[in-house]
């Protein structure tokens, strides 16, 4: 695909109306194109027969309907989840994961090509940050998965490769686009954004995206351990981070989620559990314990079932709401960045 072509998915519905108006066309053509891309899920301009044939030809010559090209799709035998590896128009690799739950289908989307946060246990940042994704590239992950599976997707977690709050403006545009009633109509309460801990971005979320769910990749109960696992903690320590989270809860009235990946012999002991419980006591929050998928490049291993249950029990006995995340897609490298990292290592990227 020619990366210099216009990408309509990077525009909101209102921007598309203005674009067509500037072309000398009636603004409602922008609404028709928006509906065709999102509500109808059409994969080519030729299918948009409500647009005049001459206009469809112009669009085909000057614009690209899809911003991403599927490079690999892996399907999990045990649970049917799907891992997608996409290539952007300028050659970067990003990932998405489609998951089926009892309450509906969920997609985990990436917000950046690579990541500069440098979390020790995560494959996403291997190779560093290439660039932030445009809103259309985020949306295209969902649309490509919907086209591939033939199934609707009602929930989104921005928890794939990249730090979403490091790409806030495009993230906000993406959320506005997929929530538009003329398109997918995915309500903001069905969208969750996961951050490793950027208080300025958390404050912006409370102000500009108050209905969107907030999830914090915590993974440690103290600064000493978190400094080693998540370098961002050296800039924004736990006290600063948790103050921002409490402010978000107070302003939005929404419960926060803390993601905690249990790493064998490192952060899964009873002392860590008790310290974490003290940190979070009294906060309107939920703790999601994650069985860590092994990433060969990091050398970390996930905790066993017994250690996981002991950790959960300590938190529950302290009055915290806590669950153990259902593990999906271990056979297809479903952890953030794993498939991308394997591919980059093969091509020397």
pLDDT per residue rounded down to tens, the chain (349 residues): 445 688 999 999 999 999 999 999 999 999 999 999 999 999 899 999 999 999 999 999 999 998 899 999 999 988 889 999 999 999 999 999 999 999 999 999 999 999 999 999 888 878 899 999 999 999 999 999 999 999 999 999 999 999 999 999 999 999 999 999 999 999 999 999 999 999 999 999 999 999 999 999 999 999 999 999 999 999 999 999 999 999 999 999 999 999 999 999 999 999 999 999 999 999 999 999 998 876 665 568 889 999 999 999 999 999 999 999 876 555 655 455 455 444 444 434 4
Task: Say how many C-beta atoms besides its own lie within 10 A of residue 80's C-beta.
Answer: 13
Catalytic residue among 7, 108, 115, 336: 336
CA–CA distance, 221 with 230 (Å, rounded to integer): 12
Which entry of 3, 87, 95, 176 is annotated as an active-site residue? 95
Q: Which CATH number fits domain 8-62: 3.90.76.10, 3.60.15.10, 1.10.150.530, 3.40.50.12780?
A: 1.10.150.530
DSSP-derived letter for residue 108 is: E
Residue 332 has a pLDDT of 52
- Number of residues assigned to the chain: 349
pLDDT number for residue 190: 98
- Tell me the two tokens of residue 204: 């912006």
| CA–CA separation, 191 and 182 (whole Å) | 18
- DSSP string over 247-289: HHHHHH---EEEEEEEBTTTT-SHHHHHHHHHHHTTSSEEEEE
**Domain locations in the chain as residue ranges:** 8-62, 68-347
- CA distances to 97, 113, 142, 182, 341 from 92, rounded to whole Å, are 17, 6, 18, 30, 12
Q: How many beta carbons lie within 10 A of that of residue 166, not counting itself?
A: 19
Angle (CA) 170 175 179, round 5°? 150
Cα 257 from Cα 219, distance rounded (Å): 12
CATH fold of 68-347 reads TIM Barrel (3.20.20)
Active site residue 95: yes
pTM: 0.91
């Amino acid at each position: 695909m020619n990366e210099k072509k216009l990408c309509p998915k990077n525009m909101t519905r209102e921007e598309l109306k203005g674009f067509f108006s500037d072309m000398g066309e009636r603004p409602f053509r922008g609404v028709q194109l928006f509906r065709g891309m999102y509500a109808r899920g059409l994969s080519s301009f030729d299918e948009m027969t409500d647009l005049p044939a001459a206009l469809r030809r112009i669009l085909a010559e000057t614009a690209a309907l899809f911003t991403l090209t599927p490079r690999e799709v892996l399907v999990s035998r045990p649970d049917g989840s799907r891992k997608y590896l996409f290539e952007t128009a300028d050659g970067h690799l990003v990932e998405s994961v489609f998951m089926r739950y009892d309450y509906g289908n969920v997609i985990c989307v990436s917000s950046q090509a690579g990541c500069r946060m440098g979390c020790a246990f995560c494959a996403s940042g291997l190779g560093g940050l290439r660039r932030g994704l445009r809103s259309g590239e985020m949306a295209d992950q969902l649309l490509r998965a919907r086209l591939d599976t033939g199934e609707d997707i009602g929930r989104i977690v921005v928890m794939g490769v990249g730090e979403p709050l490091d790409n806030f403006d495009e993230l906000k545009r993406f959320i506005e686009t997929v929530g538009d009633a003329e398109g997918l109509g995915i309500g903001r309460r069905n969208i969750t954004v996961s951050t490793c801990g950027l208080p300025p971005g958390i404050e912006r979320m409370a102000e500009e995206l108050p209905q969107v769910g907030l999830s914090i990749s915590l993974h440690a109960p103290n600064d000493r351990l978190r400094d080693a696992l998540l370098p961002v903690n050296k800039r924004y320590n736990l006290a600063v981070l948790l103050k921002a989270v409490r402010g978000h809860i107070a302003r939005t009235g929404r419960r926060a989620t803390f993601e905690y990946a249990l790493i064998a012999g490192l952060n899964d002991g009873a002392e860590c559990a008790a310290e974490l419980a003290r940190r979070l006591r009294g906060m309107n929050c939920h703790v999601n314990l994650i069985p860590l998928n092994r990433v060969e490049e990091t050398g970390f291993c996930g905790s066993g079932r017994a250690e996981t249950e002991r950790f959960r029990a300590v938190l529950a006995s302290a009055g915290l709401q806590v669950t153990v995340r259902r593990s999906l897609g271990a056979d297809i490298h479903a952890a953030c960045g794993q498939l991308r990292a394997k591919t980059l290592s093969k091509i020397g990227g």
